[in-house]
Each structure stands twice: as C-alpha cells, then as structure tokens.
Structure 1
Amino acid sequence: MNIYAYSRAEATPLTLLERIQSLDATRHVSSYVAFVISGHCVGQIHRRLIPLLLSINGDGRIPLFSRIQGRCGAEAITLDDDLSTNEERTRAMNIVTDDLIRNGIIKCRHGDRYGLYNEGSNVRELLCMVDRNAASCFGATSVGVHLLCYRKCCVRTDRQDSIQDCDAGSVSLWMAQRSESKSSFPLKWDPTVAGGQPTDLSFVENLVKEANEEAGIDDSLARRATAVSCLSQMTSKPNGTCMKQSLYHCWDLEVDENFLPYARDGEVTKFELWDSDKLEDEVRQGNNLRPAMRLVVVDFLIRHGIIKPDDEQNYATIQAAMHRERLILWSE
C-alpha cells in the first residue's frame, strides 16, 4: 500500500489536506535528540546515530561529541565546546563526514556545503559548514529554489486576430521528470527547475544557474522570474531518518508558446507541459510527483486560482500545513 496515497487503516483515498499532512515528519520526533553547537540548537540527530558520533575523535584523540541534558531532562548531543570558531567546527564536521562515509551512513561527499546556524539571535549566525550529503544527518535546514515556468491558456474568438482575456484559473506548468540515476525519487516529477541552495551563492544567482543547467533557460529570461512564496515543512526519509526543516523558495516565470525547456546536465529525463486539470488531479490522488513537490504544486494552484476556498473546505488548514515552523528540541 502506498503511504503517500492511502491511509494505513483503510484503502480510502486521503483528502488533499491529509496528503499534505502525511509528509510532516514530526511524527518521528521521539526518535531524535537535539543537536547543539555552542549552546544553540541547530538541528536534531536520530538516536541510532548517537553511538557512532560519540566514538569519533578529533585532533589529540579528543571526542568531538558528548551528551548533555537541558531543561526538564531534555537530552542533546553537543559538538565539543572547545571548538570556538567557525573554521574549527567546520574542520571537525569534515572529520565526521569521513566517518559517516566509512560506516556507510552516506555514500560520498556532495561537494556543496550547507550551514548550521544559530537561528535564535536577531542576526542569523553561521556556526559551521557541513557537506550537503552529511547535513541531513544533523537536521540542518534544507533550502531549495524552485522555478515554475507556466503558460496562461487563452481562448480564441471567431476572429483570427483576436484573443479573449485569459481565464485566471487556466494555466499550464512545465514539469521535469527526474533522471533514473537520481539517488532519491528517480523518475518522479518536479516543477520546471529545482535545486539545493549552497551558501556561496545568492538565491537569484543560484536560481539562474540551476535554470540554465537543468532546463537550458537563458540567464536573461530566468532573471525575469518573480519570487512568490516560501514553503516550510519538517521532512524525513521514508524510514523516518534524516528529519530536517525543508524550505522551498518559489519563483514564477510566465512563458509563451515558443518556450521549450530541454535537459542539459543529466538530472532531468524530459519535460512535459501539464494543464491545471492534470496538476490538480496529481496533487489530490496521483503518485507521480516527488512527494515533497506536492506542497510546491498545491501552492502554485492556490496562487493561480485553481484551488479556491469555496471549493476546498480545508483551504485555510492546507495553507497552514505548508508553512510549518522549524521543530526545536532544546531550550537555550
């Protein structure tokens, strides 16, 4: 039985709200403890990973991690407090990444690096960097950019030189099928362009880069995209590991009938133009999307007037379910 489409108790199709809520990984919270750096909660660690982390030593054979307890007996794993600078902590996380690879927790390094931040201060403070493939083991917030290239569908009148105003709810969206070689959700579908956000690029520069690499979109066209939303949810792997906050920064780009994306870097198998009926059918009962992209497509359908409050009884609750705050397991 597909956990993304049906409830476990019965084969009754889930409502759209339930399909969104089924992606929320906070149901696994009892399997996690906080990950603390310099007294700040920066993520969470699965309990199964704790014995390995406690066995990892840094320079001078000093353990890099230790257990601590906070208010009300809350348990946490902390990085060595003697590592007082961003550079020292980043070197330590590089050692940890090597151990994760040697123990088969992750296959290899990605190359891009994610930051672990103190989110509690008025100014977001970078505490250290960690390889992207290892970051999810520590609950680092995953940030992605998503470009949605769409067409308005106009209806011609009897006159050949005249076109009626487009129906506000009549749009089509270019969708990208993930490559069969992708390590997660191969051959599932994403909106036009999707990519992780590295720390060394601005959002717009990364969006432009990904648009060119994945879909062959010219830089000048990609820069016309409009930032429209940021979605948030706690996500995990299907087995409940690697729980983290996922942020989806979305841009809309209206394109004309001459626009045709094409796969460039091997991450996409093909592109297809899906109309609003197919998009809505997919988010309500399909299983072709990468599961997390259900949020991005639902947000698109709401913003373009396809899913309306008069037609969807859970409209407000769906909106709230797509904007969840980061789970904090430690009080400073």
Structure 2
Amino acid sequence: MSDIWSLGIQRLLSRVNSFYRSGSSKSKCKLFLCNAQQIGWIREDTANQLRQYPNVFIEQSDRFILSDHLNTYENRSEAVAKVLNDMRAKDSLKTLRGWRDELYLVKSAYSNPPLFAIERAAASAFGIRKYGAHLNGYVIDDDGTWRMWIGKRSKTKQTFPGMYDNLAAGGLSHDLTPTECMIKECGEEAQIPKELVVGKLKSVGAISNTYEDQDGIHVEGEFIYDLQLPTTFQPNNSDAEMEIFYLWTIPEVKEAIIKDDFKPNCGIVVLDFLIRHGFVTPEQG
C-alpha cells in the first residue's frame, strides 16, 4: 500500500507543479513586468492577443511590460480592464468566458503594495499569482478518532466539477484579508456559525504551487486554516457550490487523495494537514 500511496502523492505533486516540469511551456514564455517587478508569465496564446494593444503592453525580446505611462494603481487597473473587456467581447481568450466580475490584486509579492487590479478570470492568462484561503475542518470523536469534513464540488462548477474539496475555500479578492476571506467562506460554503469560527480558527501557514492547463498558467498561494468542530456539527452549503459533504476517517481521506479525486490544490492542503498532524511520516504512508 505504501508504494501505491507514494506513487499517488508523486502524481499529485507533479500535477500541481506541472509548469516546472519538462515539456511545459515555461521555456517559451515571456516574463510579465510592471514597474520593473516581475508579476507573471505570458504564453504565446496570450502574447498574440497583447500585441494588438501596444499602448498598454510593450513587447521586448523576452518580456512584456505594462507601459510606463501607466504609473498609478488606478490608471493601470483602468487600462487593463479596457483591454480585457475588448478581448472578452471578441472572445479572444477562452479563460475570459468564465468572467467572475471579481477583482484580484496584482503584486510582485503578497507583502508588497498592489500594482493594479485584474479580473479573476484573466489571472491565469497572465500567469499572475492568485491567493486563496482554505479550511481543514475536522472532528475528534470521544474515542480519539480523527475525521475530516470533505466537500464534493457541484457538477455545474466552472472548474473541477464533481471533485472533492476542502470544507470551505475561496479566492482572495481585492478587499479581504486571508482571515476575513476564510470567515466569509465558512459561512457561505458550509454555514458554520460565527461562534464556532471567530477566535477558534487557527492559521497554520501557507503553501504555493504552479500548474498549467488550457486556460493558462495558474500561480497559486494558499493560506491554510484548521478548525476543530463539534461532533454534532453538520455543514450545509448556501451558495450551491458544494453538492454534498462527507465526514471521513483519515484512511478514507488518504485513499481519495491517491485516486486523484481531489481538486489538486485542495488535495495538497489536505496532505499538509495529514503531515502536520502526524498521519503521514517518512516511516509510514
């Protein structure tokens, strides 16, 4: 079983970091810079579209640069939004069909000031890092057995429909801190009462990954939270993003991970939980 487990975990980790594997488009991508800071990667499919907007995006040998005349957060955000709306009207990039009307902040690092805001659906086309907050919800039975709450995504979700997910998770929009985002998602995705969340939610770190698919390059940073819940708690979804919730034992969770049934970034959040709490060690898988 340990060999099967190891191969399954290797497959998961390769999948979530496919951009850095041999055969990816990385060697052919151009850097994307703003204010002399790298903020993303541009594949050729996106580059072909950006060349139509030379007043906004300047192409050099190995990079695209947001034009220097765009020198404030406001005018950069406005100029990029106009380009994206034009691309969307022309159906230039497939990823824009998933338009969210949700803005993400663009930064060279999380702690740096934002350079501009961009529509969430466009982030992968520019290889811009997206941030999210993910919750590992768990219970400990009276006999000491640990179990985790796992959600199954709706079959109508735009991304990864029908796959397993964390109890609650969401992208970090421009107006929320990670903890504010996590509290919001706890209410929206699992209907966890605030009295079970506020003051009990535990920030346990962050992980990052970069993968590539037909929509673009997904550079992700996930802020991770743990929350021990009462055994009497039952999650319910209020925004139709989850189909059902399961309360699984740790062996059941581990089996689902190696069967590739998890949304990949949620799978590594769960793997991080299992490692931190001693359910996965170098000696036993």
TM-score (norm 2): 0.90
Aligned to 1:118: 108
- C-alpha displacement of 1:206: 1.3
Q: Are 2:53 and 1:56 equivalent residues in the alignment?
A: yes
Measured at CA, do residues 18 and 185 of structure 1 come closer, stay the same or move farther in structure 2, by a change above 3 Å? closer
CA distance in 1, matches of 2:90, 2:27: 24
Q: Are 2:91 and 1:97 equivalent residues in the alignment?
A: no
Runs (4 or more) in structure 1 with deviation over 6 Å come to: none
| Greater Rg over alpha carbons, structure | 1
Q: Are 2:57 and 1:65 equivalent residues in the alignment?
A: yes
Q: Which has the higher mean CA deviation after the structures are superposed, 107-116 or 75-84?
A: 107-116
Q: Are 2:262 and 1:289 equivalent residues in the alignment?
A: yes
Aligned to 1:184: 159
After superposition, give the CA deviation of every residue in 1:218-263 in whole Å (9 maximum; x if it has no partner): 12212211011211111222x4x42132111111111121110011
Q: Residue 75 of structure 2 aligns to a residue in which SS?
A: helix
Q: Residue 180 of structure 1 aligns to a residue in which SS?
A: coil
The one-letter code of the counterpart of 2:206 is C
- C-alpha displacement of 1:181: 1.3
Q: Which runs of 5+ in 2 are unaligned?
A: 1-5
Q: Are 2:22 and 1:20 equivalent residues in the alignment?
A: no
CA distance in 2, matches of 1:302, 1:198: 29
After superposition, give the CA deviation of every residue in 1:165-221 in whole Å (9 maximum; x if it has no partner): x2xxx4111011111111111111101001001121122211111111111111221
Measured at CA, do residues 15 and 181 of structure 1 come closer, stay the same or move farther in structure 2, by a change above 3 Å? closer
- C-alpha displacement of 1:80: 1.2
- C-alpha displacement of 1:14: 2.8
User: In 1, are the aligned partners of 2:196 and 2:229 still within 8 Å (CA)?
Assistant: no
The one-letter code of the counterpart of 1:194 is A
User: In 1, are the aligned partners of 2:154 and 2:241 still within 8 Å (CA)?
Assistant: yes
Q: Are 2:182 and 1:207 equivalent residues in the alignment?
A: yes
Q: Residue 305 of structure 1 aligns to a residue in which SS?
A: coil
Q: Are 2:150 and 1:153 equivalent residues in the alignment?
A: no
Aligned to 1:305: 278
- C-alpha displacement of 1:56: 2.4
Aligned residue among 134, 142, 147 for 2:130: 142
User: In 2, are the aligned partners of 1:139 and 1:242 still within 8 Å (CA)?
Assistant: yes
User: In 1, are the aligned partners of 2:39 and 2:108 still within 8 Å (CA)?
Assistant: yes
Q: Are 2:256 and 1:279 equivalent residues in the alignment?
A: no
TM-score (norm 1): 0.78
Q: Residue 118 of structure 1 aligns to a residue in which SS?
A: coil
Alignment of 1:19-38 (within 5 A): 19-24=12-17, 25-27=19-21, 28=24, 29-38=26-35
Larger proportion of helix: 2
Aligned residue among 172, 194, 211 for 2:147: 172
User: In 1, are the aligned partners of 2:256 and 2:262 still within 8 Å (CA)?
Assistant: yes
Q: Give aligned pairs, total.
A: 274
Aligned to 1:229: 205
The one-letter code of the counterpart of 1:138 is F
Q: Which runs of 5+ in 1 are unaligned?
A: 1-12, 58-62, 70-74, 156-165, 313-332
User: In 2, are the aligned partners of 1:148 and 1:174 still within 8 Å (CA)?
Assistant: yes
CA distance in 2, matches of 1:31, 1:272: 42
Percent identical pairs in the alignment equals 26
User: In 2, are the aligned partners of 1:177 and 1:190 still within 8 Å (CA)?
Assistant: yes
CA distance in 2, matches of 1:84, 1:114: 18
User: In 2, are the aligned partners of 1:43 and 1:244 still within 8 Å (CA)?
Assistant: no
**What's the C-alpha RMSD, in Å, of the aligned pairs?**
2.1
Alignment of 1:234-273 (within 5 A): 234-237=210-213, 239=214, 241-273=215-247
- C-alpha displacement of 1:23: 2.2
CA distance in 2, matches of 1:259, 1:126: 39
- C-alpha displacement of 1:21: 2.2
CA distance in 1, matches of 2:39, 2:246: 39
